[in-house]
Structure formats: C-alpha cells, structure tokens
C-alpha cells in the first residue's frame, strides 16, 4: 500500500477556502457599493424627471371660412403664437389650401400644443404666393383674422385676434373681407 501525502492537497484546499472568503467579503462590500450607486441614480433620475415640465397636450382644431368670393388659388393660413412675430414671415405654421369653390370652406389644422394663438388668412386668388396690395398698402385680396378682428388704420393687433386653444376640439370661424 502506498501512502499518499495529503499535506499539499489540504494546503490547496485551505488556499481556495481563503480566496473564497476574501471574494465573498469583497463581493458583499462591492454589492453594497453597487446598491448605493443604483439608489443614487434612481433618486437623481426621479428628481430630474420631476423638475421637467410635463408634456403639453395637443389639440386639433378646424377653421370655418365664410364669404369666399371665388374659387381657384390658395387659402394661405398663418398661425402665430406670440405678438412679436404676428404678421411677419416667422409664423409658427403656414398652410396653403386650394380653394375649390366659393362660399365657405373648412380647413382642419394639425395638432398644436395648448396655448394662445392668432390666425391671419388671405385668399391668394392669383396663386402668386403673396398678398396683393394697392399703392397705399391696403390688401386687394380677401383677408381675415381669428375673432374676426379688424384693425383701425392698419392690421389688427395680436391680442384682438388671439384665442386660447384648450383641450376640447375647437372650431374657429372667420369671415373674409
């Protein structure tokens, strides 16, 4: 019978046990650190989420136009969201809608965020993309504004044409003149 020396085997086993113990202690400390970092990330994400504005709801609306004198050309609709840009080329949204018949027409408008807006519309009868004016600057083509606003000695002010777009589906009535 041969005698086997077990010392080196026990020595290797003890080393593995010691390494396992060190790894276990390290993993516990490491796991505590990972949990702390995860909690910190969660809290930072939550506070960032809470500090942001909630997304605004969008509202679809439609424009009902009256007193369209002729068919042909385009109805040019400009949507403004502030006084500084009102009646400039910096409209929030500009639509070109073909006019197929005289009388009246309905124009659906894509969703806009809730807020205050003003509309300026003109019937581009000659389809040149511009509002034709006489030598005094008075429009020669039919125009209209939201709230049927009209200016005195010039165009209406933003606040006269402004309307509030709320959550409910709305229709804006405009009579051209």
Q: Give the CATH number, domain containing residue 79.
A: 2.60.40
- Cα 25 to Cα 19, 29, 169, distances in angstroms: 10, 6, 63
CA–CA separation, 66 vs 69, rounded Å?
Answer: 9
Last residue of a domain, one of 31, 52, 73: 52
Confidence of residue 26 (pLDDT cuts 50, 70, 90): low
Residues 75 and 103 in one domain: yes
Residues 70 and 107 in one domain: yes
What pLDDT is recorded for position 21?
Answer: 56
What are the b/e assignments for 127-145, b being 16+ CB within 10 Å? Answer: eeeeeeeeeeeeeebbbbb
Residues 133 and 82 in one domain: yes
The pLDDT of 94-114, averaged and rounded, is 93
Residues 122 and 45 in one domain: no
Answer yes or no: is pLDDT of 76 > 70: yes
Contact 173, 104 (CB under 8 A): no
What is the DSSP-derived secondary structure letter of residue 168?
S
CA–CA separation, 16 vs 58, rounded Å?
Answer: 65
Contact 85, 118 (CB under 8 A): no
What is the DSSP-derived secondary structure letter of residue 57?
P
Percent of the chain's residues with pLDDT above 70: 68
Q: Which domain, by its residues, includes 167?
A: 58-175
What pLDDT is recorded for position 22?
Answer: 53
The pLDDT of 57-84, averaged and rounded, is 93
- Residue with the bigger pLDDT between 9 and 26: it is 26
Confidence of residue 78 (pLDDT cuts 50, 70, 90): very high
Question: What are 123's two structure tokens?
Answer: 């019937």
CA–CA separation, 64 vs 57, rounded Å?
Answer: 23
Residues 66 and 12 in one domain: no
Residues 32 and 115 in one domain: no
Contact 46, 81 (CB under 8 A): no
Residues 98 and 41 in one domain: no
CA–CA separation, 155 vs 138, rounded Å?
Answer: 9
């Amino acid at each position: 019978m041969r005698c086997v020396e077990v010392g080196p085997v026990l020595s290797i086993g003890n080393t593995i046990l010691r390494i396992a113990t060190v790894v276990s202690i390290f993993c516990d400390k490491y796991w505590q650190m990972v949990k702390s970092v995860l909690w910190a990330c969660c809290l930072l994400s939550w506070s960032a989420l809470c500090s942001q504005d909630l997304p605004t709801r969008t509202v679809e609306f439609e424009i009902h136009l009256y007193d369209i004198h002729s068919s042909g050309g385009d109805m040019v609709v400009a949507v403004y969201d502030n006084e500084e840009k009102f009646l400039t080329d910096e409209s929030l949204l500009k639509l070109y809608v073909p006019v197929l018949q005289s009388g009246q027409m309905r124009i659906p408008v894509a969703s806009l965020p809730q807020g205050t807006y003003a509309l300026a519309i003109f019937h581009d009868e000659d389809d040149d993309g511009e509002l034709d004016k006489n030598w005094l600057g008075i429009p020669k083509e039919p125009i209209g504004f939201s709230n049927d606003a009209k200016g005195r000695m010039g165009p209406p002010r933003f606040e006269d044409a402004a309307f509030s777009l709320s959550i409910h589906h709305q229709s804006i009535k405009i009579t051209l003149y």
